[in-house]
Homo-oligomer: A and B are copies of this chain.
Amino acid sequence: MKKIGFVDTTFARYDLAKEAIRKIEQEISFKKIKKTVPGVKDLPVACKTLIEEHNPDIVMAFGMPGPEEIDKRCADQASHGIIKAQLMTNTHIIEVFVHEREVQDEGELKELAKKRAKDHAQNVVKLLMKPKELKKEAGKGKREGHENAGPL
């Protein structure tokens, strides 16, 4: 059975991991390992240690950076760290970040969060179980959270 790691934050304003886990459960059986850290900057090492201790097939890292300039910098630092953690462990860590500035109000933000978590969860299932399906979608302008842009 596949093993999937989930690392999320208390800073986020929506339970992204729960949404993603529910989506994956609809599709496959899997062993779940879950960790919560305070903020996005704590994600890289949390993902890395989760990977080295539990050896999951893939990890999802969830975060909701705030609207300020400093929040953008933090998210950027976190993303660099998440990429480094992947390269050090040879394991995919699917970054699911929802930025407050992407939408106009809290209602839209909630919808975006929900849809993005589910769309990335769908990607995780494909990466693990259906790589051929992903290949068919190469260059198709898929989007996570927003409507697909579609192919040119």
A residues in contact (CB < 8 Å) with B: 8-18, 34-39, 41-42, 44-46, 48-49, 52, 64, 66, 70, 72-74, 76-88, 90-95, 99, 101-102, 106, 109-110, 113, 120, 123, 127, 131, 134-135, 137-144, 149-152
The 7 closest A-B pairs by CB, nearest first: A15-B139, A45-B86, A13-B141, A81-B83, A10-B142, A10-B137, A110-B152
Complex alpha-carbon distance, A139 and B11, angstroms:
6
Given A70-B102, A95-B41, A142-B10: A137 and B36 within 8 A (CB)? yes
25 example contacts (A-B, Cβ-Cβ < 8 A) are as follows: A9-B138, A9-B139, A10-B140, A13-B141, A14-B139, A14-B152, A15-B138, A15-B151, A16-B139, A17-B138, A35-B135, A36-B137, A37-B134, A38-B94, A41-B79, A41-B95, A44-B87, A46-B92, A52-B90, A64-B139, A70-B102, A73-B79, A80-B81, A81-B84, A109-B152
